[in-house]
Chain A
């Protein structure tokens, strides 16, 4: 019997969002079908991977990934340039972890200075993240959004507790905004609505439904992303049509599977491959469920995910 492909076309579509400026700007989203379903619709843009860079040395990263950046990671500017020049990073995520009160408590002025220097040094799009301390982030992100004006950066993360100030700062200086909620499609939707009610352009938001690592709640993130995409496409829910980010590296490079040695756990096999595989697999699972933007740490994991993406399109 002849087979008729049961194509499904959707009424909804993911907004396409451009980050950065000039010839290094990148665009994500724009598809009107589920991830990698180019066979039944339009998928105009490939997912983009940003390299994770911090304003402090990555002392708590496991060796497998820390040693890659030995010699450059003392300084965010050299670190960011290294990622662009050596690994051809398409975007950089500058995580201002050192501004956290428990992690050095760097001042807002210092953070702004760092952002400025990194922006001067690299021309790829920049994602600027706070330290995930809701109060301190408000201060830090307001100031850094200001110094980054004109570069069309991604500012984050706006959460329920601080979204008003963070969104206002992104809006005032023409940046994009990451809206983060906690593993719940309704919370995510609600946050998007509250942000747009401030007058923020809904097509300049990127959804972070909260990441989790393979083996540590990945199935929750996977399913929330999948449900957000289905709502956007099949129900044409305009409040859920933003691209999705997976903040993968941070969640992966702290668990036991990426740091326990093969000597202590022979059943787990080679540590280096295990760590890279863990990050890459977490990332591709999220691409399959809906993420268009990933933040990652190990260049070999990034390369593997890019090879996967190329085979998928």
Chain B
């Protein structure tokens, strides 16, 4: 449970020496309690206080990193239940399963599905984050063979090792030294050995129990065995159980100060029907799963899941936006067309993408409208004739182009008259409404 300012104050040196940048120890303590300052700022704090305060100021849901290097992924650290309160922090990890009973071709196909999953959407690179190796055979040799194959073919990908068989775990985990895999399979029965193995291998430990009571007990137990990085599986088999368990866990941790379950949650979304599996993954993404395990990652399915994850994890206060400037799409020449629109990321990427499709080099003037779409910006009075005119004049684009013609989005056709008045000597042309009409529109202009 978080400490109050006064409780923290009691542990500080109480000298009011100001080295922390605050006038008094009490003022510093108040800031610490609100997580607005870091304990490191006080050079004189005792080791004992450091430890106690460190524990108390740790994020309620422990951050955990799976994998190492460029493809390492971090989960946990969430601070709210609903996204309007505050931005969700670390997007859910999507992992696809490979079983050690799968044939070589199937294994190769799954690995390549993961490695080629990256899609660029609205300027973000989205991908399948991890491979979940499943010890379906319960045989240590087979699991080790699969681990070897993955470690060599996909050396950078974060790995989850799913097995309750300690020998199989030992064999497989040796292939991922220094790569922080998630060892997923500690149960009441094997907790001691799994905990030992996880510690020895620098792995985080996924613990499995049937229900939240048993999960709490098991969590306390492995913590007592010295494991810090824990991932929780409550045994939720259905969507109904997922919502119930995930909600109770997050609520208990954030609102009741529960420590036993202050860790990221893993959910299995694997279903017989692929469309249903996609929707169950969506449930995990929206409702508090840190790791979602899937059976497959077809491209259509990825696009659906990635987009949902991006939507749910965007900052509710700040729309995604791009910098205001005149972008050169293709290599525009003085006689190339000039288009203006707003700096909402989605708007920019859609319009820029369609200009690229058209293969017609174009000047794309992106105006700062605080990240609002064309119509929203217009309705909010940020994309008006006078503001557009001022932006075009200040942008210096006039010196780069041969014809003073400006193409505006079809949805704001209404602005054309006023713009012609404000931008003297310019011709204002109304473009199509939807960006997907841009390729044929731009081509027909040059034809």
Interface residues of A (CB under 8 A from B): 1-6, 8, 36-39, 214-219, 222-223, 226-227, 230, 256-257, 266-271, 273-274, 276-278, 280-281, 284-285, 288-289, 300, 304-305, 307-308, 311-313
Contacts and interface: CB of A to CB of B under 8 A. Distances in A.
Interface stretch (B28-36, B135-143, B194-202, B254-262): B254-262
A222 B298 CA distance: 26
B248 A5 contact: yes
Nearest to B243: A36
B287 interface: yes
A87 B166 CA distance: 50
Contacts of B346: 215-216
Interface string B346-388: 1000100000000000000000000001000000000000000
Interface of B: 82-84, 119, 121, 212-213, 215-217, 220, 238-240, 243-244, 247-248, 251-252, 255-256, 258, 260-261, 273-276, 278-280, 282-283, 286-287, 298-305, 307-308, 310-312, 314, 316, 346, 350, 373, 436
The 4 closest A-B pairs by CB, nearest first: A269-B299, A269-B300, A274-B300, A311-B239
Given A6-B251, A6-B255, A223-B83, A273 B276 contact: no
B17 to A, nearest CB: 40
Nearest to B306: A215
Contacts of A2: 213, 216-217
Contact of A223 (B119, B299, B301, B316): B316
Given A256-B436, A270-B300, A278-B304, A312 B278 contact: no
Contacts of A280: 275, 278-279
A215 B212 contact: no
16 contacts: A3-B213, A3-B261, A6-B255, A214-B311, A215-B311, A218-B308, A219-B311, A222-B286, A222-B311, A227-B82, A266-B299, A274-B303, A277-B278, A285-B282, A308-B276, A308-B283
A218 B311 contact: yes
A219 B276 contact: no
Contacts of B212: 3, 5
A9 B273 CA distance: 35
B217 A37 contact: no
Given A4-B252, A269-B302, A312-B240, 15 more contacts: A3-B248, A3-B260, A5-B252, A6-B251, A38-B240, A214-B307, A215-B307, A217-B373, A266-B299, A267-B299, A280-B278, A285-B282, A288-B287, A304-B278, A312-B238
A216 B375 CA distance: 13
Contacts of B283: 284, 288, 308, 312
A72 B273 CA distance: 29
Chain A CB count within 10 A is highest, among B119, B216, B311, for B311
Contact of A226 (B84, B121, B276, B280): B84
Contacts of A6: 248, 251-252, 255-256
Contact of B304 (A1, A271, A277): A277
Contacts of B255: 6
A216 B349 CA distance: 12
Nearest to B214: A3
Nearest to A224: B84
A219 B316 contact: yes
B308 A281 contact: yes
Contacts of A273: 274-275, 298, 300-301
A268 B247 CA distance: 33
Contacts of B84: 223, 226-227
A60 B304 CA distance: 23
A300 B252 CA distance: 38
